[in-house]
Amino acid sequence: GNFYGPFDARRIFARFDPTLLGITPLFFDDAFFCRRCGGMATTKTCPHDGADRVTLSGTRLRELLRLGEAPPSEIIRPEVAAVLRQGLAGGRFPLRGWRQPEDLS
């Protein structure tokens, strides 16, 4: 299943009084790799449609790594993915057993 909802990281800040936080949260649009632009972008910086975009949630990335599959090279460098896959295979990086966070709605 999905680990986090798409806006959970933003919604959690609604629980706190902004004057007491001591910081001002900044929220950005989702980033993606655009094949036509040749780099990372957002809908504000890239005019191309979804067919040119490569996106991957953290949940899906962890799933691919657990399965020993290579994530898209546009999302994570192949040599980094290889190290993570090796670590998972050897039990050095425990990505399993995480609990679903409490409801943030």
Residue 55's CB is within 10 A of a number of other CB atoms, namely 13
pLDDT for 68 equals: 86
Q: How confident is the model at residue 99 (pLDDT cuts 50, 70, 90)?
A: very low
Question: 70 with 90, same domain?
Answer: yes
- List pLDDT tens digits, range 1-49: 456 677 888 888 888 887 888 888 888 888 899 999 999 999 999 999 8
Longest dimension (CA), the chain: 46
Which one-letter DSSP state was computed for residue 82? H
Domain that holds residue 50: 27-56
The domain tally of the chain equals: 2
Decide if 99 is inside a domain. Answer: no
Pick from 24-33, 57-66, 94-103: least confident: 94-103
Decide if 18 is inside a domain. Answer: no
Decide if 39 is inside a domain. Answer: yes
Question: 70 with 82, same domain?
Answer: yes
What mean pLDDT comes out for the span 74-96?
Answer: 79
CB 80 within 8 Å of CB 24: no
Dihedral sign from CA coordinates of 69, 74, 79, 81 = negative
Q: How confident is the model at residue 93 (pLDDT cuts 50, 70, 90)?
A: low
